[in-house]
Amino acid sequence: MTKVVEISPTTRLEGHSKLTLKVDDQGIVERGDWLSITPVRGIEKLAIGKTMEQVPKIASRVCGICPIAHTLASTEAMEASIGCEIPTDAKLLRTILHAANRLHSIALHNILILPDFYIPGTEKKFNLFANEQPARSVMARIVRIREIGQTIGAIAGGEAIHPSNPRIGGMYHNVSPRAKQKMADLAKEGLVLAHEQMEFMLDVIRNMQNREFVEVAGKQIPLPKKLGYHNQGVMATSPMYGSSSLDENPTWDFSRWKETRPWDWYMGEVTIDLEDPSYPLGGTTKVGTKANPQMEACTGVPTYDGQPVEVGPRARLAAFKNFDEKGTFAQHIARQMEYPDCCYTILKCLDNLDTSGKVLADHIPLGDGSMGWAANEAPRGTNIHLARVKDGKVLWYEMLVPTTWNFPTCSRALTGAPWQIAEMVVRAYDPCVSCATHMIVVNEEEKIVAQKLMQW
């Protein structure tokens, strides 16, 4: 007999989301809906009528975790719309900034997922705040990797959080030879630490893969060998940076994208009839509570060729490096394998960077309203911004961010998992829910979206 259990909110991710799960008598998920319940940012509406210089700064404020990816995608969407090519040295600085952001973000995600994992050779889970080994040395390494990534980002981008150096047509300024050397020194130190952290994490993840059970709230929960598997495709535009409609051979196709509204995708109203007060951080939703995912979800449902797709590190490695592992642990493994790539990319770009080279286009058109798009491979996956610019003003703007793509794919990947470890499946996608939120809530108390009032 099917029952409904709900985990709300989910934890150790950015933003607010919840899981509404239909489970069988053994507690195995038959259908899972993972949805954003984060209040809307309204970035696309705020962009209308603003100048093309203003909108990337506005878009970067959609969240504090991914501002670099959004600044670059937004800037390049404007450039794609107006048909502006940027100098080579500007592109190199943007790529350095992008890789530094990914380096820091992978390390941050390690902090969020390690409490789910066991110290190899023990029955003890990680507590990164414990004053003992290996927690102390691992945390020290993670903190230094993040510091290196943020410092390189601050040098190349102006600031580590909301970068001020990128602008329409290139960058405001190049870096000095001394700043270039400092970034190289940091990247070389980061490369050593990245290899160490990657090897450490791969040992931890492989150890977990070999376990039969995992403990949740004092109970032993079976750990399926195919945890997080799904039959959907993958989507990626580049191993590291991305693509745009200015490219001679773009690696993303606007015509293959469609968007479905949440009320046509998620399950309708259900009543919670399974409850576990012992579930971590306050228990699950109480029995008798009504849930209505199709009216609570604060995102649309993007599809590519009519189907949800997975984006992120596993998708990148599958698309460009023949990586063929699947599921939750494969996502973790792929993410660790990107650690060294970030440092190698920074060093390669620095080798080619001319600090005397120009970083601003000679001519910056104002646009005729043509549609342009830019996709970059943010830490969490393909991040696409689309724009129409005319006379320097934005007529239309859209953001298709990584977690928006992954919401429906992950929902399908929940099938077959014990409900108690559904959050482990979610965390493997490294969700950034705030960036993904794009619906308007009209009833804050009941979290009802504006089903009939939104103009698309």
**Beta carbons within 8 Å of 178's beta carbon, 6+ residues apart:** none
- Is residue 402 helix, strand or coil? helix
| Contact (CB, 8 A) for 38 and 434 | yes
Is residue 438 part of an annotated ligand binding site? yes
| Contact (CB, 8 A) for 216 and 421 | yes
Is residue 66 part of an annotated ligand binding site? yes
Is residue 435 part of an annotated ligand binding site? yes
Longest Cα separation, the chain: 70
**Beta carbons within 8 Å of 321's beta carbon, 6+ residues apart:** 239
Q: How far is CA 207 from CA 88, 123, 373, 416, in A?
A: 44, 11, 42, 21
| Contact (CB, 8 A) for 187 and 92 | no
Return d(Cα 387, Cα 248) in angstroms, integer: 19
- By DSSP bridging, strand 448-449 and strand 441-443 are antiparallel
Of 307, 324, 435, the C-alpha closest to 376 is 435
The secondary structure of residue 352, as a DSSP letter, is H
DSSP-derived secondary structure for 300-324 = -EEEETTB-EE-SHHHHHHHHH---
Phi–psi pair at 277, nearest 5 degrees = -65, -20
Is residue 295 part of an annotated ligand binding site? no
Is residue 432 part of an annotated ligand binding site? yes
- Alpha-carbon Rg for the chain, nearest whole angstrom, is 22
For residue 134, is the peptide bond before it cis, meaning its omega torsion is within 30 degrees of 0? yes
Of 329, 81, 97, 295, the C-alpha closest to 224 is 329
| Contact (CB, 8 A) for 346 and 152 | yes
Q: Which residues are annotated as a binding site for Ni(2+)?
A: 63, 66, 432
Annotated binding site: 44, 63, 66, 399, 432, 435, 438
Annotated binding residues for Mg(2+), as ranges?
Answer: 44, 399, 438
Annotated binding-site ranges for Fe cation: 66, 435
